[in-house]
């Protein structure tokens, strides 16, 4: 049995266009003269709404406001984001014999709405959103301690689409799995020297089973 931790945006949820759109709308509202583009996301060293805002030239005193307005837009969507093709089945299959969690800079509320929409609410044991204090590495440690207290667990995976996901996995001493269908390019991800790189969702199965 493994503990499998997913990032949310760009790994499970296809939110790229939403992030660009919401980022632009919030910049416009705040009077920030910046045209938001995909490079604002793909070049981030730390993938978070705050870092995204700074990349969009949001002044530091308005960064928190930028974050809250972006999160509010996700919460007010008529329906949660789409899930990447094939991942619903993979998550359900993983949940049979493993413990699954999500660590994200999005809000727990938004993630839970997404899980319910896609029928995955019972598959995920815990969601650690931006509303939970601590860095991603600290949250990985919390999840490992929470779900490994009464049993030996040799394998812990952090599945992410950003350089900061890989860094957090390394800091927490867990296996890093970088996916290439998310917000950052393969070239950018390789800078973090992930333990594994997967190009398609079904490739996750081989990686997890190989180490388990």
**How do residues 56-89 score in pLDDT, each as one tens digit?**
999 999 999 999 999 999 999 888 899 999 999 9
8 A C-beta contact, residue 166 and residue 194: yes
In sequence order, what are the residues at sequence separation of 6 or more whose Cβ sits closer than 8 angstroms to the Cβ of residue 57? Answer: 27, 32, 33, 34
For 2-14+83-211, CATH gives 3.40.50.1000
- Under the banding of pLDDT at 50, 70 and 90, the label for residue 1 is confident
- The domain spans of the chain are 2-14+83-211, 16-75
Strand order in the sheet with 99-103: 126-128, 99-103, 2-6, 155-160, 175-179, 196-198
For residues 104-116, average pLDDT: 94
pLDDT score recorded for residue 205: 93
Measure the CA–CA gap between 205 and 96, rounded to whole angstroms: 13
**How do residues 5-64 score in pLDDT, each as one tens digit?**
999 999 999 999 999 999 999 999 999 999 999 899 888 888 899 999 999 999 999 999
Please tell me the pTM assigned to this model: 0.88
Measure the CA–CA gap between 157 and 178, rounded to whole angstroms: 10
Q: To the nearest whole percent, how much of the chain has pLDDT over 90?
A: 83
């Amino acid at each position: 049995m493994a503990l499998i931790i997913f990032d949310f945006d760009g790994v499970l949820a296809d939110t790229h266009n939403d992030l660009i759109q919401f980022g632009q709308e919030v910049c416009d509202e705040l009077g920030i003269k910046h045209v938001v583009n995909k490079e604002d996301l793909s070049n981030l060293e730390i993938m978070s709404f705050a870092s995204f805002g700074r990349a969009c030239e949001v002044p530091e005193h308005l960064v928190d406001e930028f974050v809250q307005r972006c999160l509010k837009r996700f919460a007010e969507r008529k329906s949660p984001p789409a899930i990447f093709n094939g991942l619903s089945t993979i998550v359900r299959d993983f949940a049979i014999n493993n413990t699954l969690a999500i660590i994200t800079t999005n809000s727990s509320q938004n993630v839970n709405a997404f899980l319910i929409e896609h029928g995955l609410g019972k598959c995920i044991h815990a969601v650690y959103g931006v509303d939970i204090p601590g860095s991603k590495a600290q949250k990985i440690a919390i999840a490992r301690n929470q779900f490994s207290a009464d049993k030996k667990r040799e394998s812990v995976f952090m599945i992410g689409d950003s350089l900061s996901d890989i860094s957090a996995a390394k800091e927490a001493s867990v296996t890093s799995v970088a996916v290439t269908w998310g917000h950052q390019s393969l070239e950018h991800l390789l800078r973090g020297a992930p333990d594994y790189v997967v190009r398609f969702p079904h490739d996750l199965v081989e990686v997890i089973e190989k180490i388990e």
